[in-house]
Structure 1
Amino acid sequence: MTEKTVIVPKSTRQKNTSKTPSKIKKHFKSVIDLGNHWIKAYLEGYDYLREPSWYARCLNNISEKIPGHVKYIDGVREDLKNTCWLVGTQAVRSGSSDLMRLVDDYTGKSSLWLQYFLGTLAHLPQLNPEMSFEVTVTCNDIKRHEPVIRKNEGTHKVELAGVPVLVQIKINAVYPEGIAALKSQNLDGAVTICDIGGGNTSITRFFNSEIVGEPVVKDFGAEYLIEKIGANSDLKALIKQPPSKDVINRSIEAGVKFKKSETGDKIALLYYGESDLNFYSVYALELKDFIECKLREVTNQLEQYKLAGDKILIIGGGSKLPLLSVALKKKGFLISDNGAFDNLMGLVSEVI
């Protein structure tokens, strides 16, 4: 039998070796993209970071030394004094009753910005005693989020994964997501970018890197698909327990595999978590519903723009959904090779 894996973007962070800066370095240029499903960040001197956007306040029995753990001691955010929280994978495993993701709270990209930024720092392989960050931010709604994000400028005395750190934050700039992606793709002229994110899908039109009109934002994204898969009765019967949205998300990230049967037929495999349970048929069924009920209006609009002469670029984690990316390419749309990281990498090239 032969087997082939459809590549879905994972983390750009290297697994075997960790890049670290000098232990006396104090000033770091950085870029952060708070996605509904994933937090993506680049901090000067380190590898790229990518963590799921899980957030939870800490229970008393949680070790302070685990990745993503933050204890706020003192600083400009007096409301956070003597509180602690977790960001990332370990938040899921903590058993906290208030576990959430950014996709669950639209205001979280600003109201929880500091918690997520510090939680991301708590995943770094090396932390220096004093760290000053000049941060460039990308988000989907600048008018709503920028004023609140900028309130986090200043000094924060914290413990990150148990390590005392004095963090200084300066917000360099806040850019809309589409512009950041445009920079990474080097596209000129009339371009329309469709960002299929976790919680929403946006359409932004540009001419020579300048925004033309207001972005159109639809209040659905890949989370709709994940929820529909999680509610599917066939999946529940297959795994014999309530499906986990986290496991579904990670399974889709791992991608669809294909193998040939003894008769030469191609069999599609989408495994649930670390099991050998194949839920590809459930995924294909719910993806069809996602396309027909949600994406159809968006793709019809994009096809009109393409006929008018626009180059159409599809970005965001949703652009790499198995089967969907193939369907979008057939329409003549450009699919970014690294759609989940385009906003981040476009800004990195500008500020680093």
Structure 2
Amino acid sequence: MTDLAEMPENALPRHQGTLTLIAGYDLGNSGVKFVTSDRKIRFPSYLENCYYRPTELPTEGYVEYLEGDAITKLDYKQWLSGYAAYDANPKNHLRVTDDATAKVTQSLKHLLAALSNYPYKPVINLIICASLHERGDLEEQLIDAIAGKHIVKFGGKPIPTTVNIHVLKVYDEGHAAIAANAHTLDTSKQNVIVDIGNRTVIATLIGQKGHLANRKTFDNGVEELIRMISVNPTFKNRLYGEIAIPHLIRQGLESSEKPFWYGKQFSFEDVYRQELMPWVQKSLAPVFKFIHPWKINADACLIIGGGSQLPSVDEALKAKGFVIAENPLWANAEGLYQLATMMYSRGIDE
């Protein structure tokens, strides 16, 4: 089930039948994070395009595109996103991490799927700040892919919803985390952000007053650790010839109820402990060596991303003087939401 946390405030009220949302939208290689004033939604960035309308429609994650500004751009007009995609096709669903262009081409599909978690409204006006791994030339492509008017059906809801999407600004991934953690940082000075993500680890130097001064991307994020676990001889022996499912390994790494369990089959904690240090040397050591000159002069080195919450990793990072964000998994998305709220309230459209 989609992770959904309700918050005390309500979404912006408008005339009856219309829901207006200001949001931060973070489409990551491992998951979708969508933050508004009243809720935080997270689900895996899995996609299953549908040739036909499923007989049994999930209440969350199914979208049917009827008409709108993206009608000629979409390859499929109905799809499943998140856990619904995994349930429909556990081994061969599409993943954002598999395609370098997916953060653009799949972005609208996952964004609309996030809205399927809301009660029915005939009109949803959505104002967002989003992020991209490397903005560059892709920024305009992303805005073109998601902005505009879209008439869709969500889940089993029989009546269409008109979704109007306006993009205020696109940030480099991780940059917005400064906004979410400004109360713990001296933003008048330099700060370093290290985002330990799924496919990559991104080091960013934030200059005085929050501008992006420098940035470097490294391969071998958490997905590489998952791969190393999946090919470990001990792990493979426990599968009895079956092919490892990365989703189940990730689920075991993230679970607080059954940590290190591969589904309901077995614990892989011993394999994790065996592969952790080789992954740290392969993935994190080059990053920390690179940022050392930055770290000397920086007020703080902030660690964000789900990888910072890996067992034993968070303690080791703190011991080396790094600051773990208060909510590292949500830091970028929450920052995007805060920036969108600020820009909207000031009437800024950059």
TM beyond 0.5 = yes
Deviation at 1:214, TM superposition (A): 3.1
TM-score by length of 1: 0.85
- Quick check: 1:141–1:176 contact (8 Å CA) kept in 2? yes
Deviation at 1:308, TM superposition (A): 3.5
Output the CA distance in 1 between the equivalents of 2:90 and 2:78: 12
Output the CA distance in 2 between the equivalents of 1:127 and 1:305: 49
Q: How does 1:245-256 map to 2 (within 5 A)?
A: 245-255=246-256
What's 1:51 paired with? 43
Deviation at 1:29, TM superposition (A): 1.4
What's 2:24 paired with? 31
Output the CA distance in 1 between the equivalents of 2:90 and 2:229: 24
Q: Deviations over 1:10-44 (max 9, x none)?
A: 946259x9978876233221221001101000245
C-alpha spacing 1:235/1:255, structure 2 compared with 1 (3 Å)? farther
Output the CA distance in 1 between the equivalents of 2:212 and 2:88: 45
Deviation at 1:61, TM superposition (A): 6.2
2:104 pairs with 1:110: yes
Deviation at 1:97, TM superposition (A): 7.6
Deviation at 1:251, TM superposition (A): 0.7
What's 1:172 paired with? 168
What is the SS of the residue equivalent to 2:42?
strand
Deviation at 1:245, TM superposition (A): 0.5
Q: Where does structure 1 differ by over 4 angstroms across 4 or more consecutive aligned residues? A: 17-23
Q: How many residues align?
A: 328
What's 2:219 paired with? 219
Deviation at 1:209, TM superposition (A): 3.6
TM-score by length of 2: 0.85
Q: Deviations over 1:170-190 (max 9, x none)?
A: 111112233210111112212
Output the CA distance in 2 between the equivalents of 1:270 and 1:96: 19
What is the SS of the residue equivalent to 1:143?
coil
What is the SS of the residue equivalent to 1:48?
strand
Output the CA distance in 1 between the equivalents of 2:60 and 2:97: 22
What's 1:6 paired with? none
CA RMSD of aligned residues (A): 2.6
Output the CA distance in 2 between the equivalents of 1:82 and 1:223: 28
Amino acid at match of 1:106: A
What is the SS of the residue equivalent to 1:141?
coil
- Quick check: 1:146–1:174 contact (8 Å CA) kept in 2? yes
What's 2:198 paired with? 198
What is the SS of the residue equivalent to 1:203?
strand
Q: How does 1:1-352 map to 2 (within 5 A)?
A: 11=3, 13-14=5-6, 24-44=17-37, 46-60=38-52, 62=54, 63-79=56-72, 80=74, 83-95=77-89, 99-122=93-116, 124-151=117-144, 152-163=146-157, 164-186=160-182, 187=185, 188=187, 189-211=189-211, 213-240=213-240, 241-255=242-256, 270-275=260-265, 277-352=266-341
Output the CA distance in 2 between the equivalents of 1:167 and 1:12: 21
Q: Percent identity?
A: 27
- Quick check: 2:58–2:84 contact (8 Å CA) kept in 1? no
Output the CA distance in 2 between the equivalents of 1:224 and 1:70: 31
Output the CA distance in 2 between the equivalents of 1:71 and 1:331: 49
- Quick check: 1:58–1:96 contact (8 Å CA) kept in 2? no
- Quick check: 2:175–2:212 contact (8 Å CA) kept in 1? no
What is the SS of the residue equivalent to 2:261?
coil
Output the CA distance in 1 between the equivalents of 2:101 and 2:263: 30
Judge which range, 315-324 or 131-140, deviates more: 131-140
What is the SS of the residue equivalent to 2:244?
coil
C-alpha spacing 1:112/1:120, structure 2 compared with 1 (3 Å)? same
Deviation at 1:311, TM superposition (A): 1.5
What is the SS of the residue equivalent to 2:176?
helix
Judge which range, 63-72 or 311-320, deviates more: 63-72
Q: Deviations over 1:267-288 (max 9, x none)?
A: xx6322234x221111112111
- Quick check: 1:132–1:169 contact (8 Å CA) kept in 2? yes
- Quick check: 1:57–1:98 contact (8 Å CA) kept in 2? no
Output the CA distance in 2 between the equivalents of 1:338 and 1:172: 24
Q: Which runs of 5+ in 1 are unaligned?
A: 1-9, 258-268
What's 2:347 paired with? none
Deviation at 1:242, TM superposition (A): 2.7
Q: Which runs of 5+ in 2 are unaligned?
A: 342-350
C-alpha spacing 1:206/1:97, structure 2 compared with 1 (3 Å)? closer
- Quick check: 1:200–1:219 contact (8 Å CA) kept in 2? yes
What is the SS of the residue equivalent to 1:213?
strand
Deviation at 1:145, TM superposition (A): 2.6
Output the CA distance in 1 between the equivalents of 2:40 and 2:275: 32
Amino acid at match of 1:160: F
- Quick check: 1:12–1:49 contact (8 Å CA) kept in 2? yes
Deviation at 1:309, TM superposition (A): 4.2
Output the CA distance in 2 between the equivalents of 1:256 and 1:64: 29
C-alpha spacing 1:120/1:283, structure 2 compared with 1 (3 Å)? same
What is the SS of the residue equivalent to 2:39?
coil
Output the CA distance in 2 between the equivalents of 1:341 and 1:169: 22
